Amino acid sequence: MNPSVRTQDRLVVGLTGGIGSGKSTVAGLFAELGAAIVDTDDIAHRLTQSRGDAIPALRAEFGDRYIDGDDALDRAAMRALAFSDSSARHKLERLLHPLILARAEAELAQADAAPYAILVVPLLAQAPAFRRLVQRVLVVDCDEATQLARVVRRSRLTGEEARAIVATQTPRTERLALADDVISNDGDLDSLADQVDALHRNYLKNSD
């Protein structure tokens, strides 16, 4: 049986949301309840770290100036390029997405002891290829002012920089249109945990 067939045996929920919406916090709460978590951001990070599997292809495509002395992707240089040049961004996505997909599929197949799995895909709305790995889409949503305040508090970004990133992402209404389930993260962490508990019970029912 190939891995894509195996992952269909069990419920896989795609978890998405804008920057700083609360995806990692929500994934942590599902993990505490026993869900398997596969995070495509972590996978992308590993693929592009020192001697990661994507490094040779990145070097061939973009040249040595985007690879640092440790054989890792120079993230700051690549971020600047991708931000200013949409064709370079598309090239980067065409190179990385199939590698991330394959790795995500393998990790989902490996984590088959858990009753269901949560696949964290921040770019799910922009990258439809990931949708074939999931049976449901869960969107973490919050008010844009709350989102910006949390991003600024957590990082060294200014409000202006955070707004610029949000502007490059899929608009909130488009993301919500993909959702089978929505978690509203405008309240406190207790409210978040209550919503995760309720969805967990549903997902357990859907996972047999």
Ligand X SMILES: Nc1ncnc2c1ncn2[C@@H]1O[C@H](COP(=O)(O)OP(=O)(O)OP(=O)(O)O)[C@@H](O)[C@H]1O
- Kindly report the number of other CB atoms within 10 A of residue 6's CB atom: 15
Matching residue, tokens 């549903």: 202
Residue 24 structure tokens: 């990692």
Binding site partner of 17, from Mg ion, ligand X, none, Cβ cut-off 5-8 A by kind? ligand X
Residue 15 structure tokens: 């978890």
String marking each residue 151-190 x if it binds ligand X according to CB under 6 A: ---x------------------------------x--xx-
- Which H or E run contains 55? helix 55-62
Q: Judge whether 123 and 21 are in contact, CB under 8 Å.
A: no
Binding site partner of 16, from ligand X, Mg ion, none, Cβ cut-off 5-8 A by kind? none
Q: Judge whether 139 and 176 are in contact, CB under 8 Å.
A: yes
Of residues 84 through 123, those in contact with ligand X by CB under 6 A are 122
**Residue in 208, 190, 29, 7 with CA at minimum distance from that of residue 107:** 7
Q: Which of 192, 196, 200, 203 binds ligand X (CB under 6 A)?
A: 192
Q: Judge whether 39 and 189 are in contact, CB under 8 Å.
A: no
Does residue 14 interact with ligand X by CB under 6 A?
no
Does residue 22 interact with ligand X by CB under 6 A?
yes
The three-class DSSP label of residue 202 is: helix
Q: Which is nearer to ligand X, 19 or 54 (CB)?
A: 19
Does residue 25 interact with ligand X by CB under 6 A?
yes
Q: Which is nearer to Mg ion, 55 or 120 (CB)?
A: 120
Q: Which is nearer to ligand X, 92 or 166 (CB)?
A: 166
Residues of this chain that bind ligand X (CB under 6 A): 17, 19-25, 122, 150, 154, 185, 188-189, 192
